[in-house]
Structure 1
């Protein structure tokens, strides 16, 4: 099982480190990551493997959302099944 994590906000030191540390603490493997910085705007998309996640999915969502709020970022976590359903033609 995988999930997509998106992060948007003002660029600052430590965004990738904070998000990936929450993943590592909960046994969530980062499979792929892409990020861009456009002037002072940070944008990142991560594909993560949640099959061995040590906490319920909603708790992971809540933890990442809280980190985002604390840093002034918008962090959205979507289960792969929902992502695929939304983007199916």
Structure 2
């Protein structure tokens, strides 16, 4: 007998753009304001381009994933950044080989 798969509360956040001071601080602060827990973070700067991937826990969050995604995307555009927030299952499905 197969047990039902537990639904994940994790999301993947990606941030890409020209390097500038305060990107990690901005994203981390916004997530803390919404009670979103950062589980893992990886960032690098390639030439002058900043890239970051975060794995976050949405379970304690004070808002829905779609609201977080829209908020960070719009605020990121104002900073010249491309920000995407996807549920872990969607991200995994889209990036499988």
Say yes or no: TM over 0.5. Answer: yes
- 1:84 Cα deviation from its structure 2 partner: 2.1
Q: What secondary structure sits across from 1:27 in the alignment? A: coil
- 1:38 Cα deviation from its structure 2 partner: 1.3
| TM-score under structure 1 length normalisation | 0.93
Instruction: Report runs of 4+ in structure 1 exceeding 4 Å deviation.
Output: none
1:5 corresponds to which of 13, 17, 33: 13
- 1:43 Cα deviation from its structure 2 partner: 0.4
Aligned length: 89
1:17 corresponds to which of 25, 32, 38: 25
- How far, CA to CA, are the matches of 2:44 and 2:96 in structure 1? 26
Matches within 5 A, 1:1-89: 1-89=9-97
| TM-score under structure 2 length normalisation | 0.86
Residue by residue over 1:37-65, the C-alpha shift from the partner in whole angstroms, topping out at 9 and shown as x without a partner, is 11210000000001111011111011110
Whichever structure has more helix as a proportion of its residues is 1
RMSD: 1.1
Gaps of 5+ in 2: 1-8
- 1:73 Cα deviation from its structure 2 partner: 0.4
Gaps of 5+ in 1: none
- How far, CA to CA, are the matches of 1:22 and 1:52 in structure 2? 14
